[in-house]
Chains A and B, each alone.
Chain A
Amino acid sequence: MNILEAKDIHKYFREPTEFHVLKGLTFHIEKGKFISITGKSGSGKSTLLYLLSTMDTDFEGSIKINGEEMRGKSNRWLADFRNHHIGFVFQFHFLLPEFSALRNVMLPGLKRAQQPPDEVEHKAYELLKLLDVEDQAKKRAVLLSGGQQQRVAIARALINDPLIVMGDEPTGNLDSRNSAIVFDLFSQLAAERGQTMLMVTHDDEFAEKSDHIIHLADGRIDKQ
């Protein structure tokens, strides 16, 4: 079953000059697979990921997630959809600096409001434990190291059991040990819970281990 279908996606940047970044991408992703997106710097990996995450709505073509068309939906609908179904790890880990690590992880869960706050908190704590940062739970996010912040951000992406977890170089700041922990966690979630993993990476080793690679070059898919 296809969890995500992209059809003939074009993306233009109009400022400062018109720039055709993505030139007709068509692909599909099966549920529960671990997919890597590779390509050299500036090839449009992040741009593609933002489109797939529903945050960037300015494109041509069609994106269907879980059978639902993303084009033409309202901001509110998309925000709710992201909250329920998409976990996102940014290229530059972005936490809310004034909130504790634990609170950062909890916020999307509190927003979803499907479980009582103490259950959300418990779950957040378990995730931090899985990522080996539970000792930082009560610290304010600004005080954490880059790698710690990235792991907290990963925990946040997982809090609502999303259908798809998207990451923009989610292990970019991690040492090889933690990198391996994250990779194993992702593969495990994919295999056991059927969550789909979609990761942009520069790390060839990381990419080789995944189920599929989408390689971008010159705004097109090179090999799949």
Chain B
Amino acid sequence: MKIAKDFKLAASIAFTHMRAKLKQTIIATVGVAFGITVFIFMVSVMEGTNEFTEDVVFEQSPHLRLYNEIALAEHSILDRAAPSAWNVVHHQKPKDILPNLKDGIRAVEELGKDHRVLAISASVSTQLFYRLGSASVNGRVLGINFENEDALFALGSKIVEGGHEKLATQPNSLLMGVGLARKLNVATGDKLSVTTEKGDNFQVTIIGLFKTGLTDIDNQQSYASLKTVQRFLGVPASYITDIKVKLHDKELAPEIVEELENRYQYSGSDWKKDNSALLEGNVLRNMITYGVASTILLVAGFGIFNILTMMIYEKMKDIAILKATGFSDTDVRWVFLIQAIVIGFIGAVMGLIFGFLLAYATSRMPFESDVMITMDHLPVSFKPIYYISGFTFGILTTILAGYMPSRHAAKVDPITILRG
């Protein structure tokens, strides 16, 4: 009870001090508010962008994929001839092997029965040239079974023009990326020719256009049926180059990849490995965001520290009088700590409000980007955790900034002041 009364009294003294030094108090509060505003705004926009890119990229990224990598032979023929000697082969050339998966069809069937697998799609991919008149654009074509690929990447929802229905039935039909179509200046229904790496020419028809939002894909890729691409390459129906898998639990991908690599002797990769640059970029961006925001808060905290320290020097006499008339060291410490807490609290709340408003205004802002094709306004994230951490960090900084001057005030020896 006595403690509560002491606290109330200390608070009333603190408020009188703040009222008397209104200008400095407001400046300190605005400093904190500014720090938190920037923190909230930066985190919201940065994380929003991260989440957006992640969504776009991961949607186009299988949980795991299997392929055949063209590798150098680990053991040369020399090793067999002279097993005990040191054999060095300079400028070894890759073996001339086909990039297809051996027994790929059987692997697809087996994996289809695996209970961890949600969906699976086999495909044949190859580089080729798209030609229209004198224009020639280097690109890729992916032979797929549309239903399977759709189960993995929601391909159907990416089609912006035409349709996929004829892909399986009409020979040499293509679904083309919008970027690639723009480069070639073609639209649905147009015909053009493609040239394979071996130099074979084929006449193809565009039956639709798609847009994934990923420039890499939209600007150079087309989809065709498995059969069509196999015909381009002159290979049998058992020829597939990639198996892409969607799992029930994508966190299991790395271990399953390892298991499949061993079982089938294929090369494999998972979504984490494939997008490591993106994931690392996110970590880096987050570090920068939090770094900048903390620096601003630290500066605001330093402002509070300064103002309170100055205030305490000005108020030395007051402190001495309070102590002489029976206020304890603790009471005096509270007088100044309360000022810091009030400044921190009001500043933090204001910062949260302004930060939210700024982030909200940004999320309403129309924004078009060439890189992020599917974006029409800036992506902003509004997770409560940003607000909780911003508030906590703001309060902590101000309390820390107020603590040292307050302790100093509590230690003031009244007699040296009153002696004059």
Q: Which residues of A contact B (CB under 8 A)?
A: 46, 50, 53, 55-56, 75-76, 79-80, 82-84, 88, 90-92, 94-99, 103, 107-108, 110-113, 156, 160
Evaluate whether A113 and B323 lie within 8 angstroms (CB atoms) in the complex, with A50-B418, A75-B329, A76-B329 already known.
Answer: no
Interface flags for B1-15 (1: CB within 8 Å of A; 0: not) read 010011001000100
Bound-state Cα–Cα, A111 to B323, Å: 11
Do A75 and B326 touch across chains, with their CB atoms under 8 A apart? no
Whole-angstrom distance between the Cβ of A59 and the nearest chain B Cβ = 11
Give the 8 A-B CB pairs with smallest separation, nearest first. Answer: A83-B326, A98-B20, A108-B325, A79-B328, A113-B5, A56-B415, A82-B326, A76-B328
Task: Identify the closest chain A residue to B332 (Cβ).
Answer: A79
A sample of 12 inter-chain contacts (CB < 8 A) reads A50-B418, A55-B324, A55-B418, A83-B327, A84-B326, A90-B324, A91-B420, A94-B321, A95-B321, A111-B326, A111-B331, A160-B326
Give the tally of cross-chain contacts (CB within 8 A).
72
Evaluate whether A98 and B17 lie within 8 angstroms (CB atoms) in the complex, with A76-B328, A83-B326 already known.
Answer: yes
Whole-angstrom distance between the Cβ of A86 and the nearest chain B Cβ = 8
Interface flags for B324-340 (1: CB within 8 Å of A; 0: not) read 11111111000000000
Whole-angstrom distance between the Cβ of B402 and the nearest chain A Cβ = 19
Cβ–Cβ < 8 Å partners of A91 in chain B: 420
Whole-angstrom distance between the Cβ of A158 and the nearest chain B Cβ = 12
Task: Identify the closest chain B residue to A157 (Cβ).
Answer: B325
Neighbour of A94 across the interface among B5, B6, B20, B418, CB < 8 A: B418
B414 at the interface (CB under 8 A from A): yes
Neighbour of B419 across the interface among A46, A83, A97, A107, CB < 8 A: A46
B320 at the interface (CB under 8 A from A): yes
Bound-state Cα–Cα, A46 to B318, Å: 19
Neighbour of A83 across the interface among B320, B325, B418, CB < 8 A: B325
Bound-state Cα–Cα, A110 to B419, Å: 26
Cβ–Cβ < 8 Å partners of A50 in chain B: 415, 418-419
Do A111 and B324 touch across chains, with their CB atoms under 8 A apart? no
Task: Identify the closest chain A residue to B416 (Cβ).
Answer: A56
Neighbour of B324 across the interface among A75, A76, A82, A98, CB < 8 A: A82
Do B6 and A111 touch across chains, with their CB atoms under 8 A apart? yes
Cβ–Cβ < 8 Å partners of B317 in chain A: 94
Do B17 and A112 touch across chains, with their CB atoms under 8 A apart? no
- How many residues on B have C-beta within 8 angstroms of the other chain's C-beta atoms? 28
Bound-state Cα–Cα, A156 to B326, Å: 12
Evaluate whether A94 and B329 lie within 8 angstroms (CB atoms) in the complex, with A50-B418, A55-B415 already known.
Answer: no
Do B325 and A88 touch across chains, with their CB atoms under 8 A apart? yes
B389 at the interface (CB under 8 A from A): no
Interface flags for B394-417 (1: CB within 8 Å of A; 0: not) read 000000000000000000001100
Bound-state Cα–Cα, A76 to B332, Å: 11
Do A76 and B9 touch across chains, with their CB atoms under 8 A apart? no
Q: With A82-B324, A84-B326 given, name 11 new contacts (CB 8 A).
A: A46-B419, A55-B323, A75-B328, A79-B328, A83-B325, A94-B418, A99-B16, A108-B325, A113-B5, A113-B6, A113-B9
Task: Identify the closest chain A residue to B323 (Cβ).
Answer: A79
Neighbour of B16 across the interface among A56, A98, A111, CB < 8 A: A98
Bound-state Cα–Cα, A55 to B416, Å: 10
Whole-angstrom distance between the Cβ of B71 and the nearest chain A Cβ = 78
Whole-angstrom distance between the Cβ of B329 and the nearest chain A Cβ = 6
Whole-angstrom distance between the Cβ of B321 and the nearest chain A Cβ = 5
Whole-angstrom distance between the Cβ of B91 and the nearest chain A Cβ = 85
Cβ–Cβ < 8 Å partners of B19 in chain A: 98
Bound-state Cα–Cα, A91 to B418, Å: 9
Whole-angstrom distance between the Cβ of A42 and the nearest chain B Cβ = 13
Evaluate whether A156 and B17 lie within 8 angstroms (CB atoms) in the complex, with A50-B418, A55-B414, A94-B317 already known.
Answer: no
Bound-state Cα–Cα, A94 to B321, Å: 7
Whole-angstrom distance between the Cβ of A110 and the nearest chain B Cβ = 5
Bound-state Cα–Cα, A91 to B320, Å: 14
Cβ–Cβ < 8 Å partners of A156 in chain B: 325
Bound-state Cα–Cα, A53 to B323, Å: 12
Bound-state Cα–Cα, A95 to B13, Å: 13
Bound-state Cα–Cα, A46 to B419, Å: 8
B2, B20, B418: most-surrounded residue (chain A CB, <10 A): B418
Bound-state Cα–Cα, A112 to B414, Å: 19
Whole-angstrom distance between the Cβ of A170 and the nearest chain B Cβ = 14
Task: Identify the closest chain A residue to B4 (Cβ).
Answer: A113
Whole-angstrom distance between the Cβ of B413 and the nearest chain A Cβ = 9
Do A80 and B325 touch across chains, with their CB atoms under 8 A apart? no
Cβ–Cβ < 8 Å partners of A83 in chain B: 325-327
Bound-state Cα–Cα, A98 to B5, Å: 21
Task: Identify the closest chain A residue to B20 (Cβ).
Answer: A98
Bound-state Cα–Cα, A82 to B58, Å: 72
